[in-house]
Amino acid sequence: MATLTVRTPHPVFVERARAVDTVLRVGGGTLTAATYDLLDHEQTAIVDDRAATVAGSGPYTATVALVAGDVPATLDFSQAYEERWTLTVDGDTHVVRRPCWLVRFSLRPAIDDSDLEARHPGITNLKPAAWSDWAEVRDKAFETVVRRLIREGLRPDLVLDASQVVDAHVSKALAMGFRGMATNARGGGSYISQAEHYEEEHEADFAALRLDLDLVESGKQADADRGEPGVGVLFLTSSDSNRSRWI
């Protein structure tokens, strides 16, 4: 029997007062039905037993459309919400939980293939024939950057200027791309060498991060804390009660 898998690359970020689709990717069996609950920090249902749209043929996706009124601007920001999915897979019922943050803004990728080409000229011509572009690699690299920000104690939703993570995103995408190509083409050794080179550059890019953070959660650039480093900072509490708390 296959093991049920649900993809959770990082917490789900839900913006207040904004319509958004939330998607769960499911593998390891035939998904035939799904429902969705969104629970707040007190486990009170904000969205209750909403039917999801199921698509695919393995892996499958379950998609729920949230409307702006589901998460109004009157709700407090929180890193303690939870998505709860009830899935019917191969005739059995499974309950899956995913962490969810209620945020003002979601940090979004700020690069495309031209940024990879600028860093490594000719890279777009090296991709395997099965790749239409570098989008999947870029997406996976961005998820890795987001996880690392969280691991370093930095909330991605408080980053006001997405361009400040571009270099770290590009170098991680190139590292992952070359490592992936090493398994699909001749000259794998040279690709591994390039992957290692860009992993080193990624470490340098991440160490050099200086971020404008919305620690007071006003949503205004004017209130930003400027130049916060990406490595070695942990915002657990603050002496100012108006500043964001990481709990």
In this structure, is residue 166 part of a structural domain? Answer: yes
The angle at the Cα of 215, spanning 227 to 41, to the nearest 5 degrees, equals: 140
Which CATH number does the domain housing residue 84 bear?
A: 2.60.40.10
**Tokens in use for 114?**
């031209």
In this structure, is residue 241 part of a structural domain? Answer: no
pLDDT in tens, 50-78: 999 999 998 999 999 999 999 999 999 99
Number of domains the chain contains: 2
Judge whether residue 245 has pLDDT over 60: no
Average pLDDT over residues 191-196: 94
In this structure, is residue 235 part of a structural domain? Answer: no
Report the alpha-carbon distance of residue 113 to residue 177 in Å, rounded: 12
Domain residues for the domain of 46 are: 5-103
Which of 85, 150, 86, 108 shows the shortest CA–CA distance to 15?
108
Of 103, 136, 160, the one marking the end of a domain is 103
Q: How far apart are the first and last CA of the chain?
A: 38
Beta partners for 34? 87
Question: What is the pTM (predicted TM-score) of this model?
Answer: 0.88
Residue 118: CB partners within 8 Å, gap ≥ 6?
none
In this structure, is residue 160 part of a structural domain? Answer: yes
Of 81, 103, 125, the one marking the end of a domain is 103
216 lies in the same domain as 119: yes
159 lies in the same domain as 69: no
- Under the banding of pLDDT at 50, 70 and 90, the label for residue 185 is low
Beta strands in the chain (DSSP E): 5-6, 12-15, 20-27, 31-39, 45-51, 53-56, 60-66, 78-89, 92-103, 210-213, 225-229
Determine what percent of the chain is predicted with pLDDT higher than 70.
91
126 lies in the same domain as 205: yes
Report the alpha-carbon distance of residue 50 to residue 62 in Å, rounded: 11
92 lies in the same domain as 139: no
Residue 28 falls in which region: left (phi positive, over 0), alpha (psi -120 to 50) or beta: left
In this structure, is residue 246 part of a structural domain? Answer: no
Report the alpha-carbon distance of residue 164 to residue 168 in Å, rounded: 9
136 lies in the same domain as 203: yes
Judge whether residue 155 has pLDDT over 50: yes
Return the pLDDT at 166.
Answer: 98
